[in-house]
Amino acid sequence: MASPIHNGGGMPSPTTGSMRQRSRRACFPCRQRKRKCDGRLPCLTCTGYGYECRYGDDGGRKGTKRSASDEVALPQPVHKAQRLPAETSTHSQSEGAVATPFHHGILDPNKWRYMSSNSAIAFPRVVGLDLQSANPPRLHSFAYNTGLRPEPGCIVDFQLVKFIAWNQVQELINVYESTIHPIFGFLDMQRLYLRCEDHWKGKSQGPGLEALISGIIGLASLFSGLLATDVEMRIVLHAKELLEDPSHSRFPSIEQVGAWILRTVYVRATSRPHVSWLSSCTTMHLVEATGLHREMDQVVLMGDSRQGYLQEQSDVRQRTAMIAHCVNSIISYDYGRSAVYIGPLSFNKIVPRDGDFSLHLYSLVRGLPRDDIGSDPHVRKSELVAALKYLLDAPTGHDFVTVTRAELCFCVYRRLRLLDNCLKQDQIDQVITAGTAALPAARRLMVSNHPWWNVISTIFQFLCVLLAIDSTESIASVPAAMETLEIITTRLDTHLANEAVNTARLLVCASLEKKKKGISILERVAVVPDVVDNASSAEQRWMFDETDWDLFLQPPPATQFLDGDFQLQI
């Protein structure tokens, strides 16, 4: 039986001995400050304080760095803040440059609390360690406020296990696993299933699991229609209440991050852009709060009782952070809002799975340049042009990813259009190619009753892009795009779908009227006067006397330009 994530019981115990091992050598910063040193590179003290750990062969007079091969192999000392190996910097440094010390973050796995080593919350403990206190302060928000009011307790009294039967939950989990999980594959479905079974049998797995399974039920119902709408919405509301409850939200966990991802996807598919953007940003902040964006060798772990468990869950942790990043980036890029940046991210250690397209989705997102305000327009344009080519060359493998690729291509096009309205033909062709590939993919998703948000929004945006390009090639693609939008609208038969197709028709009519006016003007200009048989009459027709010449040189009256229509007198 799988234990809940928030429960630390049953984790592997540390393998290190309980006797203190004395290091034969101390690094230069520890000798200089007369602090304990464990003899490693970097040592625990330098890691905790952010010092540049270095060793010298002559008592520290020569501060040469100690190489990894010179490290003394000693058993890991027993300490409340276990040091993990430092991450090698990914940025190359020129010869002679001073290396910037890597500052580890601090992770308290018992509370899933991650913070930078320069945090005010961590500083009392740092001071305690600096003073060599036998009992340094714990990680705690000492004196964070005046404490005049008590913190509110739990206000959620809805009981999910009594509201929906386990056999229905089983069916909905299967729907989720076959439709949503292949795209957003951040959950360990087998472990989740076992924990849910225990939860429905009376072995409570905590509010985090309940918020997570409520999100799964809501999305599975949206994609299958197995539940009545009011039942589905009540369960979705339950997830929201748990995630926003003050007694639960102050203890972030990986389950909370997963539940917020599912809520964001559901809100993006059913609600307004501002709400979905806020939800995606909250998810990213929780990723940072739980340290999911950091490798285990990049953190100082408070207590080592869960180190083995965290290493085992490394793939799930990275996948959760990756999907949260993808959802926030896609929503922000499409909406024109800033995405949450929590530092450089790398998910190269994620193990690919059969039938999983999460890495394909991340491959698209990683090609998007950040929206940096004030950046050089020429540099910005070159980045967007490169991103457009990258997106078109990226593999998709799934209809949803294909439609998402087109969605992101249109995002890039809108930014390029603001920078330079005269795009090159190959760039226009790339946009049209991406949109054209999305048409059959969107139709197949709709036939499968998979109401992803971009099934209709991307097709509507494609029509807008085609009309904005306004070339012979783009106008030739309008009928297919309009037909696809009408097919999807007929199948959905919702207010938003009908509103979209009516707006698309309005834009097509506006484009047609504009072209009619242009054609009318060109037709008047292109009229050929009747051939006059008498050549002398023709010559006489075009001859000016001096009076006519003076009249011709006079400026036209101002009233001639008051009429909005361009009237040509022939």
493 to 105, 167, 399, 455, 489: CA distances (angstroms): 51, 31, 22, 14, 6
pTM above 0.85, yes or no: no
- Write out the H or E segment, with its range, that includes residue 78: none
Residue 97 pLDDT exceeds 90? no
- Measured between alpha carbons, how far is 347 from 356 in angstroms, rounded to an integer? 15
Residue 11 pLDDT exceeds 80? no
Task: Give the residue among 393, 464, 467 at the shortest CA–CA distance from 434.
Answer: 393
| Helix orientation angle between 358-365 and 399-419, rounded to the nearest 10 degrees | 0
Q: How confident is the model at residue 126 (pLDDT cuts 50, 70, 90)?
A: confident
Which 3 state secondary structure label does DSSP give 299? strand
220 to 54, 173, 277: CA distances (angstroms): 55, 7, 22
What pLDDT does residue 139 have? 79
- DSSP codes, 266-284: HHHHHS-HHHHHHHHHHHH
Residue 142 pLDDT exceeds 70? yes
Structural domain 22-77, CATH architecture: Irregular (4.10)
Q: How confident is the model at residue 371 (pLDDT cuts 50, 70, 90)?
A: confident
- Residues recorded for the chain: 570
Average pLDDT over residues 379-392: 93
Lowest-pLDDT choice from 87-91, 213-217, 500-504, 559-563 = 87-91
Task: Give the residue among 533, 543, 468, 545 at the shortest CA–CA distance from 507.
Answer: 468
What pLDDT does residue 297 have? 66
What is the tens place of the pLDDT at every residue in 244-259? Answer: 998 888 888 999 999 9
Which 3 state secondary structure label does DSSP give 43? coil
What pLDDT does residue 1 have? 43
- Measured between alpha carbons, how far is 166 from 235 in angstroms, rounded to an integer? 14
Task: Give the residue among 173, 177, 266, 187 at the shortest CA–CA distance from 219.
Answer: 266
Average pLDDT over residues 194-202: 95
Average pLDDT value for the chain = 80
- Measured between alpha carbons, how far is 443 from 399 in angstroms, rounded to an integer? 9
What pLDDT does residue 299 have? 64
Average pLDDT over residues 83-92: 36
Average pLDDT over residues 52-57: 68
Task: Give the residue among 326, 506, 340, 339 at the shortest CA–CA distance from 407.
Answer: 326
Residues 238 and 160: beta-carbon distance below 8 Å: yes
Tokens of 140: 């705690």
What pLDDT does residue 197 have? 96
Residue 232 pLDDT exceeds 70? yes
Between 22 and 431, name the one with better pLDDT. Answer: 431
Residue 5 pLDDT exceeds 60? no
Edge-to-edge, what's the strand order for the sheet holding 81-82? 81-82, 299-302, 105-108, 113-116
Residues 272 and 331: beta-carbon distance below 8 Å: no
Residue 134 pLDDT exceeds 80? yes
Residue 100 pLDDT exceeds 60? no
| Helix orientation angle between 425-447 and 377-393, rounded to the nearest 10 degrees | 50
What pLDDT does residue 165 have? 96
Task: Give the residue among 350, 437, 347 at the shortest CA–CA distance from 400.
Answer: 437
Per mean pLDDT, which of 11-25, 99-113, 298-312, 383-397 is the most reliable? 383-397
What pLDDT does residue 39 have? 79
Residue 529 pLDDT exceeds 80? no
327 to 409, 422, 453, 557, 562: CA distances (angstroms): 16, 31, 12, 60, 52
Average pLDDT over residues 455-462: 96
Between 15 and 191, name the one with better pLDDT. Answer: 191
Q: How confident is the model at residue 102 (pLDDT cuts 50, 70, 90)?
A: very low
Lowest-pLDDT choice from 177-186, 395-404, 412-421, 465-474 = 412-421
What is the tens place of the pLDDT at every residue in 465-478? Answer: 999 999 999 999 99
* Domain locations along the chain: 22-77, 160-335, 358-521
What pLDDT does residue 459 have? 97
